[in-house]
Amino acid sequence: MTTQDAEMKELPAPISSSPSTLQHLKEIVSLLETGAYAREVRRIVRAIRLTMALRRKLKASDLSSFLNFALPPGSDVHTRLSSFIPKEEDYEMDVDSATQPPAKHPLPEIEIFCYLILLIFLIDQKKYGEAKACASASIARLKNLNRRTVDVLASRLYFYYSLSYELTGDLAEIRGNLLALHRIATLRHDELGQETLLNLLLRNYLHYNLYDQAEKLRSKAPRFEAHSNQQFCRYLFYLGKIRTIQLEYTDAKESLLQAARKAPIAALRFRVQCNKWAIIVRLLLGEIPERTVFMQKGMETALRPYFELTNAVRIGDLELFRTVAEKFSSTFSSDRTNNLIVRLRHNVIRTGLRNISISYSRISLADIAKKLRLDSENPIADAESIVSKATRDGAIDATVDHGNKWMVSKETGDIYSTNEPQIAFNSRIAFCLNMHNEAVRALRFPPNSHKEKESAEKRRERQQQEQELAKHIAEEDDDDF
């Protein structure tokens, strides 16, 4: 006994630090209980936000004590989840830190929350094998639950279930299970679950470059008003990638820019990916992105290869384009934009040809081949076919003198006498109107606000809840992305 007492006195730090985290977990459980009994989904959402803010402080001893508090010791769920918790040196000391008696019959919401928080902890600790087993067990339990207050917790479990398999390279194994879960969510009218599972399935298909199957699923899946901004941003990003591969660049550009604009400021990596694809799409459309796109805070280093690529396309220098593509080939491969950059070669040639047609009223095809740095066996014939195609497509306003091997450029007129300014203004006005309509649709009003006047006490309570909600939203980082 004396030896144990001495050991406990030598290690006071874990005892003093653990109850604070455990107390936060108990408060989250009480919030879940209130939301479950009152059937208020917003309380469940708030509990999830508090959990995400707490995830970096979690320890194995805290989770063990929490499971003893939230679940009946000796039950199947308690035994199963406890087996996933890694052992620590001071494990025995913190087990009894839960002072409140455990629930005899825990609510399904609390049981699913125990699965969720343990799964997050295992992924953060990079114990992916245990995380896969825990995720599979949680999904098997979820299939037997049909409660609207569980839907928010279920959507997070779906995300980490897919993530645990993606981190181990086994994403293809769960594709059939995700399709079955999406079917179940559709039958149960779980719209948040449908959103989450649709995005996970699209990510699964795109991970293996199955763009046709992803488009078939997307086109046939039921669509409704978005319930989660994060899920809507992901959907727009995946839609933009599919549209890009299918050569529908205008729609792809709109989806990618909207995803980057709607994403939270803290989701830096997600916004970087959106901007990378949007830059490539704009270059494929013949547009040159503004310099401010590459100078966004925190993105300068990540977008540097795409800035140099844009500079090569803007100048129309084919040799510089080849140099940049070879220099950053590893970056483009990791971003999966290599195939799109191969498509850009034609745009580089066309841009260089446009610059030549503006600078010269008449120029020989041999000089064009030299300026474009065409390295084929017969550069003059290649230059002639390139000029003819660009003229037919309307990229340049010129004619080809095949006898003398010349390109004769026509005199440029006043652009303001054409419809181009009107088209540009029309696109800007449409963009502003769409943004205004989205902002109006995003407005939220308290129920029956036009029928009854709230008292001063209710007003104070509502304002306090709004302040707390705003605080938690501001504390969110890019963990969701």
**What pLDDT does 241 receive?**
92
Q: CA–CA distance from 326 to each of 329, 331, 342 (Å)?
A: 5, 10, 11
pLDDT per residue as tens digits for the range 191-246? 888 888 999 999 999 988 888 998 998 888 887 766 778 888 899 999 999 999 98
Backbone angles phi, psi at 261, to 5 degrees: -75, -35
Gap between the Cα atoms of 374 and 410, Å rounded:
24
Whether 418 is covered by a domain: the verdict is no
Nearest to 223 by CA among 194, 184, 265: 194
Structure tokens at 77: 């769920």
Q: Which residues contact 321 (CB under 8 A, 6 or more apart)?
A: 309, 312, 313, 344, 345, 348
Number of domains in the chain: 2
Taking a C-beta distance cutoff of 8 angstroms, is the pair 293, 316 a contact? Answer: no
Gap between the Cα atoms of 49 and 31, Å rounded:
12
Type of residue found at 263: A
**What pLDDT does 202 receive?**
92
Whether 282 is covered by a domain: the verdict is no
Whether 136 is covered by a domain: the verdict is yes
pLDDT per residue as tens digits for the range 278-310? 999 998 888 888 888 888 888 888 889 999 888
Nearest to 253 by CA among 231, 274, 224, 227: 274
Picking from 411, 427, 452, the residue at the C-terminal end of a domain is 411
- Our CA angle for 212, 216, 218, nearest 5°, is 115
Q: Taking the chain, what is the end-to-end CA distance rounded to the nearest angstrom?
A: 50
**What pLDDT does 454 receive?**
57
Taking a C-beta distance cutoff of 8 angstroms, is the pair 331, 302 a contact? Answer: no
Picking from 119, 149, 169, the residue at the C-terminal end of a domain is 169
If one compares 369 and 311, the residue with the highest pLDDT of the two is: 311
- The winner for highest mean pLDDT among 63-72, 79-88, 238-247 is 238-247
Residue ranges of E strands in 168-271: none
Domain extent, residue 400, equals 359-411
Picking from 169, 192, 207, the residue at the C-terminal end of a domain is 169
Confidence bin at 359 (pLDDT 50/70/90): confident
Whether 331 is covered by a domain: the verdict is no
Whether 43 is covered by a domain: the verdict is yes
CATH number at residue 378: 1.10.10
What is the sign of the dihedral through the CA atoms of 202, 205, 210 and 212?
A: negative
Is residue 365 scored above 50 in pLDDT? Answer: yes
Whether 149 is covered by a domain: the verdict is yes
Whether 281 is covered by a domain: the verdict is no
Gap between the Cα atoms of 378 and 375, Å rounded:
8
Quote the distance between the C-alpha of residue 368 and its chain's center: 44
Whether 387 is covered by a domain: the verdict is yes
Q: How many CA atoms lie within 13 A of 442 on its CB side?
A: 10
Helix (H) or strand (E) holding 343: helix 338-359
